[in-house]
Amino acid sequence: MRTKKLIGLLVIFGMFSAQSQAEEYHSHNKLWRFSAAFLGAVTIADMQSSVGRQEGNPLLASQNGQFSGRGMALKGAGVGAMLGVQWLLLRKNPNAAKYAAGANFAMGALTGAAVVHNHMVK
């Protein structure tokens, strides 16, 4: 009788730990998705604040040195590729979602600082 109770307790605790791991995975996954959306929004704001201005990055500058459609396409493709690679990597290792989210928030903060600078210079 004691053995059955012990096994029952272990099964119940195992179910709770599996549930908490699943909840932790979903919370990290939600955090990563939010950080990806944040990075995308900040990138769009950066592109909006840079259009028609002189571009310091020669890869993003058009022939006349301004930020235009070519730069927007390259910047969007770069951010999209980075998020796509993260998504592929997180499928294999979902526990790394919090680190990927941290990287996205950091990149978004740096890009946000550029947005603020661009609007102050206007």
**Each residue's pLDDT tens digit, 7-37:** 655 555 555 555 455 555 566 789 999 999 9
pLDDT one-digit tens code per residue, 44-68: 999 999 998 888 888 888 888 898 8
115: left (phi over 0), alpha (psi -120 to 50) or beta: alpha
Q: Where are the domains of the chain?
A: 41-122
Q: Dihedral (C-alpha) 101, 96, 98, 71: value to the nearest 10 degrees?
A: 0
pTM of the predicted model over 0.85: no
Q: List the one residue out of 76, 77, 94, 78 whose CA is nearest residue 31.
A: 94
